[in-house]
Chains A and B, each alone.
Chain A
Amino acid sequence: MLKYTLRRLVIALPVLLGISVIAFFIVRLVPGDTVTALLGAHYSEAEAEALRQRLGLDQPLPVQYVIWLGNVLSGDFGQSAFTGEPVLEAILNRLPVTIQLVAISICFAVFVAVPLGVMAAVGRSGRTDFFATLFGLLGISIPGFWLGVLLILLFSLTLGWLPSGGFVSLWDDPIANFRHMILPGLSLGMAVAAVVMRMTRSTMLEVLNEEYIKMARAKGVPKRRTIIRHALRNALIPIITITGIQAGYLLGGSIVIEQIFSLPGIGLLALQAITNRDYALVQGTVLFIALGFMVINLLVDLIYAWLDPRIKY
């Protein structure tokens, strides 16, 4: 298992390097530069030159990249050109919000989707199956940001049950925190729930047709136990894979959802950095999100290998 983990990490290295190259060069391609943005309309050429030198922008690109990479590896992601806040600090401050948001969405998705998918497969073509299919189709078709808007319209503006945005830390006030997170979590989790439900349903349909399920029944395993211990346990492998992949996409989806609900997470930070052309911050957030995505994929691979005895590490 350790060997397998290491091998996966080694495979991840070149991809990681590629990500850093993209993160670095992508912002160099942005028209207009930080200097102009920072200094405003009126500035002297000398001022600009000094600022460029201070930010290291006068060096050739490959040199800038190597310097930047060295800094990043030693934990120095630079400073936000706007607030002067160190990028790493800004990211780490915002990280818990996004992690919580993603975690809530995943939990919601899994707890709704897996039982629904199982019930749909077991009662194939029945009423539950019809409902599940409808849920699956709507779930993948309704944009998360519209769902968010609708939820605000209903629960905040019309019913007044929940706040329409903002954030309270979990440590300060867990109940208020939950009240702020539930709508964003739902909006973000719906699409994942739909995808996971569809996967659960189709895999369960396949597994339920396997001979070992018939064998389990023939040896007297009760129905519930057959479905959960024999069928679902096998279906779990692809279900977890797809959940993991979706978890990665949630990082992207969080950009939009955090904007709608004014949640101070990494997604919103990235969006602001992009709109403000805040080089260092864009690089940092992009790098972090891609890294998070990779870590999740790695975890999924490891869980997968652990769940399926047929995979040799």
Chain B
Amino acid sequence: MNDQNTILRVEDLRVRFRTRRGDVRAVDGVNLELNRGEILGLVGESGCGKSVTAQAVMRLIGDGRGEEVSGRVELDGEDLLQKSEKEMTKLRGRRISMIFQDPMTSLNPVYTVGNQIAEVPLLHEKVTRRDAYARAVGMLETVGIPSPKERARRFPHEFSGGMRQRSVIAMSLCCKPEVLIADEPTTALDVTIQAQILDLLQDLRRDFGTAIILITHDLGVVAEVCDRVAIMYAGGIVEQAPAGELFRKPRHPYTQGLLASLPKIGDRGILKAIEGRPPDLMNLPEGCRFAPRCPHAFGKCSEYPPLERVAEEHDAACWLEKKHE
């Protein structure tokens, strides 16, 4: 379907957690494509399955008790879900990396920052300890940490939040992976630091050619850095489009609701929240998951709407598109 331009393709990804009270369908048929070197925003409310999607792609979930993952996750044509844990271990950190929300807890408190970064090349490449450490110091410089040589000897608790997230980024990009999944990398940071980290990610994408999936619930962040955006709701993708197009012409009522709830400078109008709550993942509605909250819902919405092309490079999963035809 797509050319070599696609580095990561997720097809019909489903994640189910078996609990004592029933199955939780955390991710329910996600389709995504990530092009080389692009930044894709993955947006949705908390609990919609963004993080679970990311961790399933990394195979950080799927092998545990009561975790069930199905579908395909192709990295450069190879299905990650078919790989053994051993093969995955060799891929993680080298070809596909991930950073997490809270930089305060992402670093191991008992090792120096330099050693933690140096561990990555040591694991994946045939380098000496000394070379790996030199690489780590170099990476710290690349991510903009002043006097990196001295800082590399420091422990994480001696770093500020922004510096820790920079260090984590240095760690995840040390082996120049093709894909980086950033799970809300700025949520836990101050607004000014947020902007710096986002700038850094953009710079690194340019310099390293790493494609980034940026998971966030903040549409402002998306507008700032993303090339394309995928909107997620209750375990599925409901709309996907280039960032500019999505902001100008949102097609799915959920996306429209999200945008309407965003404050605009100079606009004193009342912000409109979306009525109702997301559905219970243990008990998803048969048809469109958004229908119960949707102002435009009609009879057809009791069937599940597939994600279909509605304009150039623009997909949406909504029956309204067909209704107007």
Which residues of A are at the interface with B, using a C-beta cutoff of 8 A? 125, 210-212, 214-223, 230, 233-234, 307-310
Contacts and interface: CB of A to CB of B under 8 A. Distances in A.
Contacts of A125: 65
A55 to B, nearest CB: 55
Nearest to A221: B123
Contacts of A212: 105-109
A178 B323 CA distance: 87
Given A219-B92, A230-B108, A234-B110, A214 B120 contact: no
A218 B105 contact: no
Interface stretch (B5-13, B93-101, B189-197, B307-315): B93-101
Interface of B: 55, 58, 60, 65, 85-86, 89-94, 97-102, 105-110, 119-120, 123-124, 155, 157, 168, 171-172
Nearest to A233: B110
Contacts of B119: 219, 221
Contacts of B110: 233-234, 307-309
B129 to A, nearest CB: 15
Given A211-B100, A219-B97, A309 B109 contact: yes
Nearest to A218: B98
A309 B157 CA distance: 9
A221 B109 contact: no
B97 A222 contact: no
A210 B110 CA distance: 13
A209 to B, nearest CB: 10
Contact of B60 (A214, A233, A309, A310): A214
Contacts of A310: 109, 155, 157
18 contacts: A210-B105, A212-B108, A212-B109, A214-B100, A215-B106, A215-B108, A217-B92, A218-B99, A219-B93, A219-B172, A220-B94, A220-B120, A220-B124, A221-B89, A221-B119, A222-B86, A234-B108, A308-B109
A310 B97 CA distance: 28
A217 B65 CA distance: 17
A218 B60 contact: yes
B85 to A, nearest CB: 7
B195 to A, nearest CB: 23
A219 B120 contact: yes
Given A220-B93, A310-B157, 7 more contacts: A212-B108, A215-B99, A215-B100, A218-B172, A219-B120, A220-B89, A309-B157
Contacts of B65: 125
A216 B92 CA distance: 10
Given A230-B108, A309-B157, A218 B58 contact: yes
B18 to A, nearest CB: 13
Tell which of A215, A217, A309 has the most Cβ of chain B within 10 Å: A215
Nearest to A226: B89
Contacts of A215: 98-100, 106-108, 168, 171
Contacts of A217: 60, 92
Contacts of B123: 219-222
A234 B86 CA distance: 24
A309 B158 CA distance: 10
Contact of B92 (A218, A230, A308): A218
Contacts of B101: 211
Tell which of A216, A220, A221, A309 has the most Cβ of chain B within 10 Å: A220
A130 to B, nearest CB: 14
Tell which of B92, B120, B171 has the most Cβ of chain A within 10 Å: B92
Contacts of A307: 110
B91 to A, nearest CB: 7
A210 B105 CA distance: 7
A309 B89 CA distance: 29
A223 B58 CA distance: 15
Contacts of A309: 109-110, 155, 157
Q: Which 5 A-B pairs have the closest CB atoms?
A: A220-B93, A219-B93, A220-B92, A211-B105, A218-B98
A219 B92 CA distance: 5
Nearest to A215: B106
Contact of B90 (A220, A233, A234, A308): A220
Contacts of B105: 210-212
Contacts of B92: 217-220
Nearest to B94: A220
A274 B169 CA distance: 65
A101 B109 CA distance: 36
Nearest to A236: B110
A233 B115 CA distance: 14
A307 B90 CA distance: 30
Contacts of B60: 214, 217-218
Nearest to A124: B65
Contacts of A234: 108-110
Tell which of B89, B108, B123 has the most Cβ of chain A within 10 Å: B108
Contacts of B85: 223
Contacts of B90: 220
Contacts of B93: 218-221
A215 B167 CA distance: 12
A234 B100 CA distance: 20
A218 B88 CA distance: 10
B97 A211 contact: no
